[in-house]
Amino acid sequence: MSTICEHPNEASISVHSLAPHFHEAAAQWAERLGLPLGSDTAFALQLGAEGLQLVERGPQAPGPVRVDFVEGAMAHRRQFGGGTGQMIAKAVGVQPGIRPQVLDATAGLGRDAFVLASLGCAMTLIERQPLVAALLADGLQRAALSSEVAPITARMQLLTGNAIELMQGWTQTPPQVIYLDPMFPHRDKSALVKKEMRLFRPFVGDDLDAPALLAAALALASHRVVVKRPRKAPAIEGSKPGYVLEGKSSRYDIYPKKKLEPTG
């Protein structure tokens, strides 16, 4: 997930509670994000019974965007998405006896990270755009209350900050695989992504520092770096991928460093 500026425009968005008993928690989000509470703005970060959601206000505005790992599209993908046969699983190296430790350095709304966590990968997520990170943090918190999904999201640790800086200053054991999806919004024609593009456009843009992101990932990952790209887009400037997995609309550029081996 990329960013035009790493802090939301205070003149264009404010935080709102959808019921009186959410007011205190909404005020905490407003303070945490440095946003006004209850102001009349073009966009609103709303807190209600279904969690935290971003909306554009106005009669022609699309519906809200929230992170939901328990129901809806993510539940369907968890149950019917294809398991270890999915391209993303093959790209990061999921095999019998191999569930790599993965750093998703462009986490966005966490969908790809959730898919990998549901397959058993230990995931660290980095998101630098504060609004998106807030939606993701809220989604993870609500998912922890679900007996079915909590074991999956327990494998997902969220860090908020600049991925390049965090990777360059990494002090933990290096992740085996670093996953990058640096273009946002996706050039995708689905209604869901169109809605997200419209809502996030004022706050996020394309990753102009993608080459530096790739370089930092290659320096840190112990086994491989995986970059998700639109199928016809050029590779990120810099090192060339070792091989490519290509699908109908997207592909995975893979930069191998070391062979993944089964554990145990």
The answer on whether 112 is annotated among ligand-binding residues is yes
The answer on whether 206 is annotated among ligand-binding residues is no
CB 163 within 8 A of CB 210: no
The answer on whether 128 is annotated among ligand-binding residues is yes
- R_g over Cα of the chain: 18
CB 100 within 8 A of CB 223: yes
What are φ and ψ of residue 22, in 5° steps?
A: -100, 0
Peptide bond into 185 cis (omega under 30): yes
| Terminal CA-CA length for the chain | 35
**Which of 103, 84, 104 lies closest to 94, judged by CA?**
84
Listed in sequence order, the residues at least 6 apart from 87 whose beta carbon sits closer than 8 Å to its beta carbon are 245, 247, 252
The token pair that represents 13 in the structure block = 């968005």
Q: Rounded CA gap, 152 and 62, in Å?
A: 30
**Which of 130, 134, 143, 133 lies closest to 52, judged by CA?**
134
The answer on whether 196 is annotated among ligand-binding residues is no
Listed in sequence order, the residues at least 6 apart from 263 whose beta carbon sits closer than 8 Å to its beta carbon are 97, 98, 99
Output the known binding site: 111-112, 127-128, 181
Binding-site positions for S-adenosyl-L-methionine:
111-112, 127-128, 181
